[in-house]
Amino acid sequence: MPAHILILDDDPDVATAARLLLRRRHGAVASLGDPSGLPALLAQGVPDVVLLDLNFTPGCIDGAEGLALLDLLRAQPKPPAVIAMTAYAGVPLAVAALQRGAVDFITKPWDNERLVATVDQALARRAAVRAPTAATELMGESNAMRELNALIASVAPTEANVMVLGENGVGKELVARAIHAQSRRAAGTLLAVDMGALPESTFESELFGHRKGAFTDARADRAGRFQAARGGSLFLDEIGNMPLAAQAKLLTALERREVTPIGADKPEAIDVRIISATNLDEARLFDPAVFRPDLLFRLNTIVLRVPPLRARRGDIALLLAHYLRVYEAQYGRPARTVAGAALDSLVRHDWPGNVRALRHACERAVILGQGAQYGLADFALGGPALPAATMTPAASNGSTNAEANASTFAPAFAPSCTDHDGTLDALERHAIASTLARFNGNISHAARTLGISRAALYRKLGKHGI
């Protein structure tokens, strides 16, 4: 389903520039210059993403108008992901927008690559939570999930930095959100940053901010992510994909508990709790050539390991029932059960994409399934079910040992040269599977090699059932 993006800005030049840029990737991009027309537009349908200017009246720079519109958008039954846009991105205004529900902010004039990446990430995160309760909490009754939830409840009230380890699709961001929600900082912002998608050239500007005139395109002061998350939590996703030079800069900020915006004369104190996440196996994480030990010790005061779905097969039937009900309600389809033989196969399936892959499979089954019950073919799985007799010890006993996980994870993506029939879709699937196998399932590295964003790669993984 194509994304619907709305640009709400009174400057026609800005709106046109954003529309032309985004429609190359997303067909349905509309713009609105007069905010008074927003209620009528919302009555026709709520967009997926809104790029929202925070000031409309000439001379006003306090953002009050935009924040009021943000409240209106967030009050919708299925609210859009809102990205705040302003030429006056001071820390208080950025924090206010994030605390009122914006998922991110962009400073005008923007960097095109940065704007596209921000919209892609907003769409990817909204896709994960677009259906009511679709992916808003950690689900599962297995011992592994009970232990994980108990650890979260114990760790959350502290100020300790937490590192979340686990494969792609297991729900590391949900763990971060659970930690923040149960912490003393719950009233503050939880700001997520995809470190794997952050260009090294803009690393300092994105995280620490900059001052007007600090470099060629610095036409206004800009708050960094550390300042925007002040009083809350900062979720550093894909931390293992940071270059070593960027790791050194992050280490300095964490050691000194202060950052210096580019072009500033003095540092600024930071007040954030760091929650980081990576899909690297622990052997590579402790390799100094990959990750600085001194930074690792700053981040991994507490380590939480999220088990892969194959290590908690007892939860698969529960998750299937939940997501099928969610998507049946979303698409107005009748409630159906899963045929017994199909359910057995789904429970034995290896699920290399973990809960994310299961969710996509349920959505496909609801949309495409025609029978009185869901059959195995309706889920369009990308690989064979794992026979019960060949289940690995990690899969059968609930172990989350990183070495066992790594050994079973990579082959799940490995395609055969005869796996495709020469069609464009089949060739695309083969290219994606080959690249994932090459990088041991690392989404950021695979997306970079394929020349697409991580969000686009996630959508293609769902499309092809990988």
pLDDT tens column, 243-258: 999 999 999 999 999 9
Rounded average pLDDT over 143-167: 94
Give residue 406's pLDDT.
34
- Torsions phi, psi for 438 (to 5 deg): -60, -40
- Torsions phi, psi for 351 (to 5 deg): 45, 65
Confidence of residue 380 (pLDDT cuts 50, 70, 90): confident
Strand (E) or helix (H) holding 51: strand 49-53
Rounded average pLDDT over 397-422: 40
Reduced to 3 states (helix: H, G, I; strand: E, B; else coil), residue 259 is: strand
| Dist. CA 256–CA 81, nearest whole Å | 34
Confidence of residue 176 (pLDDT cuts 50, 70, 90): very high
199-203, 235-239, 368-372, 401-405: least confidently modelled range = 401-405
| Dist. CA 465–CA 360, nearest whole Å | 8
Percent of the chain at pLDDT above 70?
85
34-48, 205-219, 378-392: least confidently modelled range = 378-392
Give residue 135's pLDDT.
44
Strand partners, 31: 7
The strand order across the sheet containing 49-53 reads: 28-32, 4-8, 49-53, 81-86, 104-107
Q: Regarding predicted confidence, which is higher, 465 or 285?
A: 285
The sign of the dihedral angle between the CA atoms of 428, 429, 432, 435 is negative
Give residue 25's pLDDT.
77
Percent of the chain at pLDDT above 90?
38
Give residue 458's pLDDT.
72
Quick: pLDDT tens for 65-119.
Answer: 888 899 889 888 788 889 988 775 566 777 778 878 888 888 777 878 878 888 8
| Dist. CA 344–CA 385, nearest whole Å | 9
Give residue 134's pLDDT.
41
Q: CA nearest 118: which of 55, 165, 52, 64?
A: 52
- pLDDT surpassing 70 at residue 214: yes
| Dist. CA 30–CA 46, nearest whole Å | 12
Rounded average pLDDT over 401-430: 50
Give residue 1's pLDDT.
54
- pLDDT surpassing 80 at residue 179: yes
- pLDDT surpassing 60 at residue 417: no
* Domains observed in the chain: 4-110 (3.40.50.2300), 143-306 (3.40.50.300), 310-464 (1.10.8.60)
Give residue 105's pLDDT.
83
Give residue 465's pLDDT.
63
Q: CA nearest 201: which of 290, 122, 267, 262?
A: 262
Quick: pLDDT tens for 37-62.
Answer: 888 888 888 888 999 988 888 777 77
Calculate the alpha carbon distances from 244 to 157, 185, 205, 281 in Å. Answer: 31, 30, 17, 18
Q: Can you tell me which residue has the tokens 């995280």?
A: 207
Give residue 367's pLDDT.
92
Rounded average pLDDT over 221-225: 83
- pLDDT surpassing 70 at residue 343: yes
- With beta carbons less than 8 A apart as the criterion, state whether 285 and 296 touch: yes
Summary mean pLDDT of the chain: 82
Angle at 124 between CA 278 and CA 224, to 5 degrees: 65
Rounded average pLDDT over 388-416: 37
